[in-house]
């Protein structure tokens, strides 16, 4: 294996700078030396595979992690028979956790075949003590574990493991520090996510995110704008500003959006997610007046019942939500409204559920993510009485899904026959003579075209609405 002797390790450690990001750049270089020797012995490249679960925040973190790994010398591959396999985990619902455990079982067999394989876990699941305990006890083939607050430390942890061969866990409970300026390997050359804030202070009673992502921290405006100018200079034309609740960005979110739109080369600006309680008229005006801002607002409803919303600690009522949704639709022509909805929250009665259906019927969302409530230990809702039986929740879920699907279909039909600007994202997996991309309102469009258009804006006629997507013709 790779392991170097203790004295050499101590010598290297004594030279490591203590400030960031210099320290991590130092460890990247040290890992690179160790692994390039190993690659020579094996007479092949060492490969890595980063697998991402969960939301856009995790996707963004994975780009940072992949950036570090490629600098170290790993060649990224899609399959999990790689020399370094990293799962960036999500714990928002129980299902996400179950999937990770299942796949860790499979990885054990791959590792038996490749003794060079290193397995690492990070992300939101790792911020839960009982999860880490279980993994250290029952999944000993996992070599490196870290959390959401120390993503930037990957090279340092890997260096330690390469030196000692001893499994390493390093989780920070929280942080007030934001380490930037490390390499990042973007999934797409033409679009990327940009963190504008980290963490969440809202403590919606069902949600684990504030516990695993920590308190809200807004990045400084100059830092955000500098990062976007940099990626724009490298060819990025679409950015998505990321935060659990972008409307509570500390230094004026609408103003930030305007400044981002003014950056040379940026053609489209998205943002995610908007909490209804904080969405201002100023934001509505800025979206309306800036054609570069995508015609899409993701506005999680969660429930249509004011009584349940109160128990959820969402801080708005059914009427507040409807009023906001109508104001958005009235003021911003062509805007798509999408949402998240939970069914089966503790105490949800049939009447409460009917209120949710009523909001969907009135707002007619362009698209909706629907979830069955999942009990997350440590959250306020986990202790509430009246957990809804599974069969009742399943039945409601079915009704809600059918309604949401018919609303999506109806909304896409509205634009059938019109022309729209599509950012072409890639070729179609099923038929490579087709390209796929997204409209400003986030609808997906498939049309025939040459792969030279990938990463560019194209004018496309929307011939046929197919429910969630269109088939179109390049103009």
Residues near ligand SAH (CB under 6 A): 92-93, 206-207, 209, 244-245, 273, 275, 300, 302, 340, 342, 371, 373-374, 376
Peptide bond connecting 23 to the previous residue in cis, omega within 30 degrees of 0: no
Residue 203's binding partner among ligand F3S, ligand SF4, ligand SAH, none (Cβ under 5 to 8 angstroms by kind) is ligand SF4
At closest approach, how far in Å is the CB of 284 from ligand SF4?
Answer: 20
Q: Which residue among 69, 200, 283, 424 contacts ligand SF4 (CB under 6 A)?
A: 200
Residues 88-107 that bind ligand F3S (CB under 6 A): 90-92
Length reported for the chain? 475
In which element (H, E) is residue 175 found?
none
The CB-based long-range contact list for 76-79 (8 Å cut-off, 24+ gap) reads: 76/47, 76/48, 76/49, 76/50, 76/185, 77/47, 77/48, 77/49, 78/49, 79/49
At closest approach, how far in Å is the CB of 240 from ligand F3S?
Answer: 14
Nearer to ligand SF4, 124 or 460 (CB): 124
Residue 174's binding partner among ligand SF4, ligand SAH, ligand F3S, none (Cβ under 5 to 8 angstroms by kind) is none
How do 367-372 and 419-427 pair as beta strands?
Answer: unpaired
Residue 54's binding partner among ligand F3S, ligand SF4, ligand SAH, none (Cβ under 5 to 8 angstroms by kind) is ligand F3S
Residue 191's binding partner among ligand SAH, ligand F3S, ligand SF4, none (Cβ under 5 to 8 angstroms by kind) is none
Q: How far apart are CA 423 and CA 416, in angstroms?
A: 18
DSSP 297-310: EE---B-S-HHHHH
Residue 376's binding partner among ligand F3S, ligand SAH, ligand SF4, none (Cβ under 5 to 8 angstroms by kind) is ligand SAH
DSSP 340-399: EEEE--TT--HHHHHHHHHHHHHH--SEEEEEE----TTSGGGG-S-PPPHHHHHHHHHH
At closest approach, how far in Å is the CB of 183 from ligand F3S?
Answer: 22
Q: How far apart are CA 39 and CA 206, in angstroms?
A: 47
In which element (H, E) is residue 248 found?
none
Are 364 and 411 in contact by the 8 Å Cβ rule? The answer is yes
Count of residues binding ligand F3S (CB under 6 A)? 11
> Among the candidate windows 43-51, 56-64, 154-162, 204-212, which touches ligand SF4 by CB under 6 A?
204-212
Q: Going residue by residue from 44 to 83, which x/- string records binding to ligand SF4, judged by CB under 6 A? A: ----------------------------------------
Nearer to ligand F3S, 188 or 371 (CB): 371
Residues interacting with ligand F3S, by CB under 6 A?
A: 54-55, 57-58, 90-92, 124, 209, 212-213
């Amino acid at each position: 294996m790779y392991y170097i002797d203790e004295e050499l390790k101590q010598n290297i450690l004594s030279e490591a700078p203590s400030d960031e990001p210099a320290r991590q750049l130092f460890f990247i270089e040290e890992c690179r030396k160790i692994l390039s020797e190993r690659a020579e012995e094996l007479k092949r490249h060492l490969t890595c595979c980063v697998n991402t679960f969960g939301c856009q925040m995790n996707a963004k973190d994975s780009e940072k992690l992949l950036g570090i790994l490629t600098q170290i010398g790993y060649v990224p591959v899609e399959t999990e028979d790689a020399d370094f396999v990293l799962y960036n985990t999500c714990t928002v619902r129980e299902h996400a956790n179950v999937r990770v455990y299942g796949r860790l079982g499979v990885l054990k067999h791959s590792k038996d075949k490749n003794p060079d394989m290193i397995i690492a876990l990070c992300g939101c699941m790792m911020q839960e003590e009982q999860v880490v305990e279980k993994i250290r006890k029952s999944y000993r083939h996992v070599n490196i574990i870290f959390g959401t607050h120390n993503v930037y430390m990957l090279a340092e942890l890997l260096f330690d493991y390469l030196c000692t061969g001893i499994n390493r866990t390093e989780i920070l409970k929280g942080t007030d520090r934001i380490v930037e300026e490390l390499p990042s390997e973007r999934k797409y050359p033409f679009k990327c996510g940009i963190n504008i804030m980290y963490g969440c202070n809202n403590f919606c009673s069902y949600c684990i995110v504030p516990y695993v992502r920590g308190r809200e921290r807004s990045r400084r405006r100059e830092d955000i704008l500098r990062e976007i100018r940099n990626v724009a200079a490298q060819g990025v034309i679409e950015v998505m500003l990321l935060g659990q609740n972008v409307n509570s960005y500390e230094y004026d979110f609408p103003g930030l959006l305007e400044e981002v739109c003014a950056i040379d080369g940026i053609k489209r600006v998205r943002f995610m997610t908007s909490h209804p309680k904080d969405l201002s008229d100023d934001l509505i005006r800025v979206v309306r007046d800036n054609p570069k801002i995508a015609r899409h607002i993701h506005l999680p409803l969660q429930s249509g019942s004011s009584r349940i919303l109160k128990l959820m600690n969402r801080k708005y009522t059914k009427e507040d939500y409807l009023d906001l949704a109508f104001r958005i639709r009235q003021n911003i022509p062509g805007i798509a409204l999408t949402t998240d909805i939970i069914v089966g929250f503790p105490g949800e009665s049939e009447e409460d559920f009917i209120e949710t259906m009523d909001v969907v019927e009135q707002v007619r969302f362009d698209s909706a993510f629907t979830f069955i409530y999942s009990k997350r230990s440590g959250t306020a809702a986990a202790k509430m009485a009246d957990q809804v039986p599974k069969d009742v929740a399943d039945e409601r879920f079915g009704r809600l899904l059918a309604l949401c699907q018919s609303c999506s279909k109806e909304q896409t039909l509205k634009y059938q026959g019109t022309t729209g600007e599509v950012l072409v994202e890639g070729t179609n997996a099923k038929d490579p003579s087709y390209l796929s991309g997204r409209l400003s309102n986030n609808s997906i469009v498939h049309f025939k075209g040459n792969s030279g258009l990938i990463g560019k804006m194209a004018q496309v006629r929307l011939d046929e609405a197919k429910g969630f997507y269109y088939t179109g013709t390049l103009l």
